[in-house]
Chains A and B, each alone.
Chain A
Amino acid sequence: MSAVPGSGRLASGWSVVLGQELKDLWLAARGQALVLTFALLLSALTYLAAMNRELNLLDQRDTVNLVLQLTLGLGVVLALLFSADSLSGERERETLETLLLTPLTPREVAIGKLLASLTVWPVIMIVAVPYVFALRVGSALSIESIAAASAVGSILTVAFASFGMALSTVSDSNRLSLGVSLFAFVVLMAPTQLPLSGWLGDLMVSVNPVSAGSLSRQDRRQRPFVGR
């Protein structure tokens, strides 16, 4: 018996799942509302940052840092939540079983869903780019800041989304996987907002992907100003 009917171009299983997940995410209200909310938030932040900069309360680097920090945080957390919801959500809505009854392997299902949740990051980053340039910190600094944030964000997004997917795989309850994901994010985010000193502080900052990434991004961002 042929397992492959018809004459059309056949997509692999994970790409079919990915295609449907992308439709669900970006053509449905959920993803669109989130991106629009993010754009409005960034607009408000940029406006206030520009106003403060005009009053000399913030310097140019700080305004860019504010915008990119928000972008990074939101992009990572959204990718994390989407992936954490992907399998446990289907399980809770009782739609996972029918998916697993198809010839797809569970791995193909997971890959398709993980890749879909990763698309949150580039979309969020693309939305943030005009704001960085609007802050007029100079094209060199803008490009360098965007490149650094993109690199750090990509690594963090892949790491967190994979973590969310792993949680979603083992969790029967969507609430549990989303709750644990958010908790983990907050715990790892905390060192970036708290004063840590000494070797223990350095160690915590270094081993924590969020704070290490944030530090690396700030280093890159500040390099052109070293020696000022």
Chain B
Amino acid sequence: MKRLLGFATAATLVGVLVAAFGAGPGGQLTAHAQSSDLVLTLDIGKATATTGDTLTFTSEITNNGAAATPALIANLTFASIDLDTYVDPEDWSPQRTIAIAPIGPGQSATQSWTVTPVLPGEIAIYVAVLPGEPELVSNGSIAASPGLRLSVDEHRSLNPGGVLPVVVAVPAFVAAAFVGLVAARRRI
């Protein structure tokens, strides 16, 4: 499964590059709505968070074309803006791919995404859409959303996950128990 997701991510990135440098006429959804007919929007454009927070946002895909789209795959993608922050997408979001049923002309589909920032830094997040099989290879054309700029600050917690009481109390209890045992033995 992970391998498939990795493949999809790679394909998405390649697609984005292709789209950025201008896809040729072959990059169209034959007999379906074309990629230029798809409009992707995000409900937020900027956000700030601290590491460990959970950020939720939605993306909306609107088919402005005259024909229905094929089945689509929406993929969440991250890019470091400061070029200094290492982003491992698997760490940042548990679900980065969503399958979307064909969208009729003039209709929209909404996807919900969850992101948990792991490291501080400036990150761009966007959603890319590409057709599912069989058009993926033959006529794959990609549409992408505008970027969401996420500024992440470092979160510092003395009590991560509420474990602090236990990690302090257990050694203290063990030490106290042994001191008690030794004292009891001396009295014998």
Contact = CB atoms under 8 A, between A and B. Distances in A.
Given A27-B182, A50-B161, A55 B167 contact: no
A13 B94 CA distance: 60
Interface residues of A, number: 27
A91 interface: no
Contact of B167 (A46, A56, A136): A46
A43 B157 contact: no
A136 B94 CA distance: 19
A100 interface: no
**Main SS class of interface, A:** helix
B167 A43 contact: yes
A55 to B, nearest CB: 5
A40 B118 contact: no
Nearest to A43: B167
Given A27-B181, A32-B178, A56 B171 contact: no
A136 B162 contact: yes
Given A35-B174, A56-B92, A56-B116, A131 B162 contact: no
Interface in B139-188: 155, 157, 160-171, 174-175, 178, 181-182, 185
Interface in A120-148: 127, 130-131, 133-136
A26 B181 contact: yes
A53 interface: yes
Contacts of B169: 130
Contacts of B118: 55-57
A151 to B, nearest CB: 23
Interface residues of B, number: 27
Contacts of B92: 56
Contacts of A39: 170-171, 174
A4 to B, nearest CB: 26
Contacts of B65: none
Contact of B161 (A23, A44, A130, A136): A136
Given A39-B174, A131-B170, A55 B181 contact: no
A74 to B, nearest CB: 14
Contacts of A27: 181-182, 185
Contacts of B155: 54
Contact of B163 (A23, A35, A55, A134): A134
B161 A36 contact: no
Nearest to A26: B181
A51 B91 CA distance: 14
Nearest to B174: A39
A163 interface: no
A40 B92 CA distance: 31
20 contacts: A27-B185, A40-B171, A42-B167, A43-B171, A44-B167, A46-B167, A47-B167, A50-B162, A50-B163, A53-B161, A54-B160, A55-B51, A55-B52, A56-B52, A56-B91, A56-B94, A56-B118, A131-B163, A134-B166, A135-B163
9 closest cross-chain pairs (CB), A and B: A50-B161, A134-B166, A43-B167, A51-B160, A32-B178, A39-B171, A50-B160, A50-B163, A56-B116
